[in-house]
Amino acid sequence: MSKIIASAAIRGAHKIAKRAEESLNNAIQQKGEAQEVGFPDTAYFMPIALALLGVKVKTLGDFVPVLEKAKSMLPPEPAEHVWLPYLGNTLDAGIATILFEEIIEAVKYITGPNPVDGIWLGATDDVILRMQGIKLVDGSMPGFAACVGAMPTNAEAVKLANELRERNILVFMFGETNGKSMAEQLAEEGVQMGWDSYLVPYGKDITAASYALGFAARSAMTFGGIAPGGLKEAHDILLYNKNRVFAFVLALGEVDDEKYATAAGAINYGFPVIADTDIPQILPTGICSYEHVVSNVTHDKMVETAIEVRGVKIKITKINVPVPYGPAFEGERIRKEQMFVEFGGQKSTAFEYLRMRDLDDVENGKIELIGPDIDKMPEGSAQPLGIVIDVAGRKMQQDFEPVLERQVHHMINGAEGAWHMGQRDMNWLRISKSAKDKGFNVKHFGEILLAKLIDDFPAIVDKVQVTLYTDEKAMADLMEEARQAFIHRDERVAGLTDESVDTFYSCTLCQSFAPNHVCIISPQRLGLCGAYNWLDAKAAFEINPAGANQPITKGDTIDERLGQWTGVNEVVVQKSNQSVQNISAYSIMIDPETSCGCFECIVAILPVANGVMIVNREHSGMTPTGMKFSTLAGSVGGGAQTPGFLGVGRQYITSEKFISAEGGFKRIVWMPKELKDSLESQLKKRGESIGIPDFFDKIADETVGTTEDEVLAFMQKVGHPALEMESILEFSV
Amino acid sequence: MEVKETYNGTIREVTLGVGDKAVVVGGETALSFYTFEGVMPRKPVIAFDVYDEEPADWPAPVVEPYKDVLGDPVKWALKCQNEYGADMICLQLVSTNPTGTNRGAEEAAQTVKAVADAIDIPMIVYGTANVEKDTEVLAKAAEAAQGKNVLMGPIEEDNYKTIAAAALGFQQAGATHSPIDVNMAKQLNILATQLGLNADRIIIDPTTGALGYGLEYVYSVMERLRLAALTQNDSMTQMPIINTIGKEVWKAKEVKVSTEEEPAWGDAETRGIIWEAMTAIALLMAGSDILVMRHPKAVELTRDFMALMA
């Protein structure tokens, strides 16, 4: 901590101590120790003294021990030659300061001047506390800003107040700069103030800060269910504020000693200070979630900076587009006749690319269009479109880029008259004529992505900025960057092996209809529905820690070949409601994984052919098992463990871990042609990697036959490797 | 040979209401009425439905017992308390439904206060399950019923933050409502407790279906919740359960059709009463702790059953 700040804060605390002592002594002389003291309509007595010391102050006399306790916390001002012992001392000075300030304000209620005067509201009663507190807890009011001092001009004060209010942030005002306070500036401009308008003028004296911090302490006692008492409770109350009350201090204008001291009090709550003057910064994290004091911030950046430093999350309630928006429109198709303009779909160059940036490199809410907008595009034409989404977040990870990028599809489809398909540089978008008539333009893609990303992923996304390119030349570089990133991502996924991680994820999304089924998702085996791979599950857990995807520590290896680990089995027992004891990640014969019923494909053994066949959900014809997909599904689903049968996602088929316990990929003897074709390149690549480049052609399909005998004859003709392998039935024991 | 199941979990005890007439629900250490395997420290309680406006769609047999008080929620609630021996009142704020009368939150809160002040038994305050409107209405209701320790619901995943915060702020209990799904019930309880609502201030509303209308589905979900609570000691399923039976039963076709329309189905009143009692008894067996019911005679039958079982 800066020595300058420490010295100033400690000096300020001493000054306020003196004021408190004088005013208390004075009041006791006038009214006696028995004089009752209290703020109006509250059950929390003097809230700061109650929260931090567990003392219920009812009379002036009760204040004496509070004053003494606070005085005992006052550290001496650091001497010239001492350079280190600041943080603890300064924080103590801060706590003492706000206790003193509360005494000063409470005494004003007895001896005057009355804190409720003109625009000034003084203490907050319990009813308001509760109604406002609900908004703080449910997130509709993300936090409060304690504005200390005044802005250089009235117009700037109004602008700051509005910037905060637009984000539903409650504005507390107290203190003054050169005789002026922000609340007075607003009053001069005729701005309505009060709780309903989110503008709360507490008092002109810096000591009115105690109302704001008392409010915060009471909200912890009310909503955090913390009964005040000793030190531990005081600690919990401060911690509750740090974790749940997203407040920050905006220090406007010159920061004097008393303001430093008060700010030190706020830092104890985890409320950081953002200053517009050039005071020393305190950047390392510790008491606050992130930085403690950030200074020299220009007025137009103050709110943004504060939001970022405090980690405030703001909900966007309405998406700013001229067409209806909602899941109801996701299934809407836009046919050629209805289309005004299209992008991509092999008719023009297009791509979409979401990248993680540093917090400083993203201007939240910025949407930029480079190139012509829809009004310059001929009807029925195909135009180039590059969508670049820059995302920054304290908890954002590069691994989440593809997870978020894939959301572009359903986000854009939610708008009536906008349609999206594909991904990456193979995307395809359309805007309908009627949407264009209603005023929908290219920039609105940005509005949608911005609002939805912030709203749906608050846990990982703090800031979003979208750049849209309709000028093909301007987007060339970024398209190249995107392509490189796609290659890099694919390599990353390919390089992810089950051995390289120690955490898998469970998925219980389907337990509503398959109560005993749990999917185990590992890097090399995605969920059987094909919708959740390991990265998705990892992101899903980060986004919703109480959700259906929970991390599993693999634990000790029980059997490497089968893919059994102690940690995984424990989770399976628990999440399957004790109905399944062991799971093999890599075996179809011994303790195979169960299925809910959502599998993309079913793998089934063909004993005569000594291999397995795979049938996809879309295939309605007969298979060599003698059963169609629908019949097979009946015996595979429902959370039952059925050796010889497995429900899988398509991408698992070409995984190195595909039933590797029984010999893996080489066991595949039959697939419907459609499935085979759709996976052609991956199957061929996998064949090459196991040293059988023509393996693709050795897999039979329905054109070869739909009985095991026909398949066997074909295998013998082409020399299928499964014929040389040990009997698949051997594995069942 | 006698085979007994051993359990390692206990259902939480939740206190509702204040004073002498406060009720405690929960506390079971075995499946409901399995008194040979564990303790069921008290019988489940029965709350009576009271609407905050005259109900438009109640069949004649269930209008009859209340015909002199419909449209006056205070008198109605007092009648349930004084004449029909209700353990609790469930005030349904149907008038706030945006597709119906669409009464405002302030006005609804006045009714809440009037009823809460008039009765001395504990109260449940239910919204219309309209996620947005309930948010507004129940927050006001929580304030209006301050000091009464009422149970507020339904708390849904989409509005739990505000309603749970209101419950917290005004010291009420909350009923977390999920669509017949164990994991979602559990998840909502996790979310509500993370917000700060204590686990012993939560009742689970698993969604209720009447006999013939999904009863077996509800039964199995409740049973699974209870098994998870008792055999796996799963903390987030160990809350008592509420079932809103009256509302579901008295809209079933088999209950609404009059004797004249379907003489072969027998007397409409008897039919409705039995339908409600049967639904209640099945759900009692599945683990219900609070039954919200309508017909006084159905309540009597249900109480007789509980007396037999205990």
Q: Do B196 and A548 touch (CB under 8 A)?
A: no
Asked if the C-beta of B169 comes within 8 angstroms of chain A's C-beta atoms, the answer is: yes
Which of B165, B182, B194 minimises the CB distance to A134?
A: B165
Angle made by CA atoms A514, A518, A524, in degrees to the nearest 5: 135
Evaluate if residue A516 carries a pLDDT over 80. Answer: yes
Mean pLDDT, rounded, for A236-259: 92
Write down the pLDDT at residue A635.
Answer: 83
Could you read off the pLDDT of A84-134 as tens digits, one per residue?
556 788 899 999 999 999 999 999 999 989 999 999 999 999 989 998 988
Contact indicator for A662, A644 with CB cutoff of 8 Å: no
Which of B184, B194, B196 minimises the CB distance to A223?
A: B196
Please give the structure tokens belonging to residue A473: 């030349």
Residues of A in contact with B180 (CB under 8 A): 512
Residues 204-223 of A with CB under 8 A from B: 222-223
Mean pLDDT, rounded, for A247-266: 93
| CA–CA separation, B13 and B28 (whole Å) | 9
Q: Which CATH number covers residue A331?
A: 3.30.1650.10
Q: Give A132 to chain B, closest Cα distance, Å.
A: 10
Mutation target vs A (from B6, B140, B160, B161; most A CBs, 10 A cutoff)? B161
* For chain A, percent of residues with pLDDT exceeding 70: 97
Write down the pLDDT at residue A80.
Answer: 64
Residues of A in contact with B187 (CB under 8 A): 546-548
Write down the pLDDT at residue A435.
Answer: 95
Residues of A in contact with B195 (CB under 8 A): 137
**CA distances (Å), origin A723, targets A667, A719, B240:** 9, 8, 60
Which of A150-159, A225-234, A316-325, A427-436 is predicted least confidently?
A: A316-325
Nearest chain B residue to A133, by CA:
B169
Contact indicator for A427, A351 with CB cutoff of 8 Å: yes
| CA–CA separation, A461 and A588 (whole Å) | 40
A543 and A457 in a common domain: no
Contact indicator for A677, A685 with CB cutoff of 8 Å: no
**CA distances (Å), origin B250, targets B78, B209, B279, B293:** 22, 11, 11, 10
Q: Do B143 and A137 touch (CB under 8 A)?
A: no
| CA–CA separation, B296 and B232 (whole Å) | 38
Mean pLDDT, rounded, for B202-217: 96
Mean pLDDT, rounded, for B209-227: 94
Please give the structure tokens belonging to residue B66: 């209340």
SS3 B280: helix
Which of A47-56, A418-427, A458-467, A487-496 is predicted least confidently?
A: A487-496
Rounded to an integer, what is the distance from CA B76 to the centroid of its chain?
A: 18
Evaluate if residue A633 carries a pLDDT over 60. Answer: yes
Q: Do A133 and B169 touch (CB under 8 A)?
A: yes
Query: Could you tell me the pLDDT band of residue A151, with boundaries at 50, 70 and 90?
Result: very high
Helix (H) and strand (E) counts for chain B? 11, 10
Contact indicator for A355, A391 with CB cutoff of 8 Å: yes
Residue of B198, B217, B195 whose CA lies nearest to B206: B217
Q: Do B165 and A225 touch (CB under 8 A)?
A: no
* For chain A, percent of residues with pLDDT exceeding 90: 70
Running DSSP on this structure, what letter comes out for residue A279?
A: P
Residues of B in contact with A548 (CB under 8 A): 183, 187
Query: Where among A486, A507, A537 does a domain terminate?
Result: A486
Q: Which CATH number covers residue A511?
A: 3.40.1470.10
Residue of B79, B78, B73, B81 whose CA lies nearest to B21: B81
Write down the pLDDT at residue A547.
Answer: 80
Evaluate if residue A81 carries a pLDDT over 70. Answer: no
Query: Could you tell me the pLDDT band of residue A509, with boundaries at 50, 70 and 90?
Result: confident
Q: What is the DSSP string of B106-162?
A: HHHHHHHHHHHHH--S-EEEE--S-HHHHHHHHHHHHHHTTTS--EEEEE-TTTHHH
Which of B161, B169, B195 minimises the CB distance to A222?
A: B169
A519 and A475 in a common domain: no
A628 and A686 in a common domain: yes
A444 and A512 in a common domain: no
A542 and A443 in a common domain: no
Asked if the C-beta of B196 comes within 8 angstroms of chain A's C-beta atoms, the answer is: yes
A477 and A509 in a common domain: no
Could you read off the pLDDT of B273-287 as tens digits, one per residue?
999 999 999 999 999
Write down the pLDDT at residue A316.
Answer: 67
Q: Residue A188 belongs to what H/E stretch?
A: helix A182-188
Rounded to an integer, what is the distance from CA A277 to the centroid of its chain?
A: 32
| CA–CA separation, B56 and A642 (whole Å) | 53
**CA distances (Å), origin A361, targets A205, A388, A464, B223, B233:** 39, 14, 10, 53, 48
Which of B162, B194, B232 minimises the CB distance to A134?
A: B162
Residues of A in contact with B168 (CB under 8 A): 137, 222-223, 225
A669 and A584 in a common domain: yes
Mean pLDDT, rounded, for A670-690: 94
The CB-side HSE value for A54 (13 A sphere, CA atoms) comes to 11
**Torsion over CA of A118, A124, A129 and A131, rounded to 10 degrees?**
-30
Q: What is the largest CA-CA distance in chain A?
A: 111
Residues 231-290 of B with CB under 8 A from A: 232
Write down the pLDDT at residue A548.
Answer: 84
| CA–CA separation, A429 and A441 (whole Å) | 13
Evaluate if residue B89 carries a pLDDT over 90. Answer: yes
Contact indicator for A482, A426 with CB cutoff of 8 Å: no
SS3 A38: coil
Write down the pLDDT at residue A324.
Answer: 84
Q: Do B183 and A574 touch (CB under 8 A)?
A: no
Q: Give A573 to chain B, closest Cα distance, Å.
A: 11
Kindly report the backbone phi and psi dihedral angles of residue A602, in degrees, each rounded to the nearest multiple of 5, phi listed first. -115, 135
Residues of B in contact with A133 (CB under 8 A): 165, 169
Write down the pLDDT at residue A626.
Answer: 94
Residues 6+ away with beta carbon under 8 Å from A378? none
Which of B139, B180, B227 minimises the CB distance to A134?
A: B139
- Cα dihedral across residues A470, A475, A480, A483: positive or negative: negative
Write down the pLDDT at residue B184.
Answer: 87
Residue of A239, A294, A292 whose CA lies nearest to A269: A239
Mean pLDDT, rounded, for A609-626: 94
Residues 477-536 of A with CB under 8 A from B: 508, 511-512, 515
Residues of B in contact with A511 (CB under 8 A): 181-183
Query: Could you tell me the pLDDT band of residue A13, with boundaries at 50, 70 and 90?
Result: very high
Asked if the C-beta of A546 comes within 8 angstroms of chain B's C-beta atoms, the answer is: yes
Which of B161, B181, B190 minimises the CB distance to A512?
A: B181
Please give the structure tokens belonging to residue A113: 């001047």
Q: Do A223 and B182 touch (CB under 8 A)?
A: no
Question: Where exactly are the structural domains of chain B?
Answer: 14-24+32-309
Asked if the C-beta of A130 comes within 8 angstroms of chain B's C-beta atoms, the answer is: yes
Could you read off the pLDDT of A521-553 as tens digits, one per residue?
999 999 998 888 899 899 889 887 878 899 999
Which of B166, B169, B187 minimises the CB distance to A547?
A: B187
ipTM above 0.85, yes or no: no
Residues of B in contact with A512 (CB under 8 A): 180-184
Asked if residue A638 is part of any domain, the answer here is yes
Compute the mean pLDDT over every residue in chain A, rounded to the nearest whole number: 91
**Torsion over CA of A35, A40, A44 and A45, rounded to 10 degrees?**
-10
Kindly report the backbone phi and psi dihedral angles of residue A178, in degrees, each rounded to the nearest multiple of 5, phi listed first. 50, 45
Contact indicator for B248, B210 with CB cutoff of 8 Å: yes
**Torsion over CA of A128, B189, A141 and A48, rounded to 10 degrees?**
50
Residue of B201, B172, B202 whose CA lies nearest to B186: B202
Write down the pLDDT at residue B1.
Answer: 61
Mutation target vs B (from A44, A131, A134; most B CBs, 10 A cutoff)? A134
Residues 6+ away with beta carbon under 8 Å from A724? none
Q: Give A143 to chain B, closest Cα distance, Å.
A: 15
Could you read off the pLDDT of A354-366 as tens digits, one per residue?
999 998 899 988 9
Q: Do A574 and B228 touch (CB under 8 A)?
A: no
Query: Could you tell me the pLDDT band of residue A293, with boundaries at 50, 70 and 90?
Result: confident
Q: Is B253 exposed, middle or buried (0-12, 13-18, 19+ CB in 10 A)?
A: exposed
Residues of A in contact with B164 (CB under 8 A): 137-138
Helices (H), chain B: 60-63, 73-82, 105-118, 131-144, 160-169, 182-195, 215-231, 245-249, 253-256, 268-286, 296-309
Query: Could you tell me the pLDDT band of residue A204, with boundaries at 50, 70 and 90?
Result: very high
Query: Where among A431, A456, A486 does a domain terminate?
Result: A486
**Torsion over CA of A458, A464, A468 and A472, rounded to 10 degrees?**
-110
Write down the pLDDT at residue B98.
Answer: 93
Asked if residue A516 is part of any domain, the answer here is yes
Asked if residue A654 is part of any domain, the answer here is yes
How many other C-beta atoms lie within 10 A of the C-beta of residue B25?
28
Write down the pLDDT at residue A1.
Answer: 52
Nearest chain A residue to B141, by CA:
A131
Asked if the C-beta of A241 comes within 8 angstroms of chain B's C-beta atoms, the answer is: no
Rounded to an integer, what is the distance from CA A95 to the centroid of its chain?
A: 32
Q: Give A54 to chain B, closest Cα distance, Å.
A: 20
Evaluate if residue A83 carries a pLDDT over 60. Answer: no
Asked if residue A539 is part of any domain, the answer here is yes
| CA–CA separation, A590 and A605 (whole Å) | 13
Asked if the C-beta of A137 comes within 8 angstroms of chain B's C-beta atoms, the answer is: yes
Residues of A in contact with B217 (CB under 8 A): none
| CA–CA separation, A195 and B252 (whole Å) | 48
Write down the pLDDT at residue A455.
Answer: 85
Mean pLDDT, rounded, for A180-187: 95
Mean pLDDT, rounded, for A4-26: 93
Write down the pLDDT at residue A82.
Answer: 60
Asked if residue A185 is part of any domain, the answer here is no
Mean pLDDT, rounded, for A132-158: 91
Domain B14-24+32-309 = CATH 3.40.190.10: no
Could you read off the pLDDT of A385-431 as tens digits, one per residue?
999 999 999 889 998 998 899 889 989 998 999 999 888 898 999 99
What is the number of structural domains in chain A? 2
Residue given tokens 């901590």 in the structure block: A1
Asked if the C-beta of A243 comes within 8 angstroms of chain B's C-beta atoms, the answer is: no
SS3 A202: strand
Asked if the C-beta of B143 comes within 8 angstroms of chain A's C-beta atoms, the answer is: yes
Q: Which amino acid is at B34?
A: Y
Nearest chain A residue to B191, by CA:
A546
Asked if the C-beta of B131 comes within 8 angstroms of chain A's C-beta atoms, the answer is: no
Mutation target vs B (from A135, A137, A318; most B CBs, 10 A cutoff)? A137
Residues of A in contact with B196 (CB under 8 A): 137, 223-225, 244
Strand-by-strand arrangement of the A350-356 sheet: A350-356, A385-392, A463-469, A367-370
Could you read off the pLDDT of A473-485 as tens digits, one per residue?
999 999 999 999 9
Could you read off the pLDDT of B6-54 as tens digits, one per residue?
898 999 999 999 999 999 999 999 999 999 999 999 999 999 999 999 9
Could you read off the pLDDT of A561-588 as tens digits, one per residue?
999 999 999 999 988 988 899 999 999 9
| Domain encompassing residue A342 | 327-486
Write down the pLDDT at residue A55.
Answer: 94
Query: Could you tell me the pLDDT band of residue A706, with boundaries at 50, 70 and 90?
Result: very high
A540 and A438 in a common domain: no
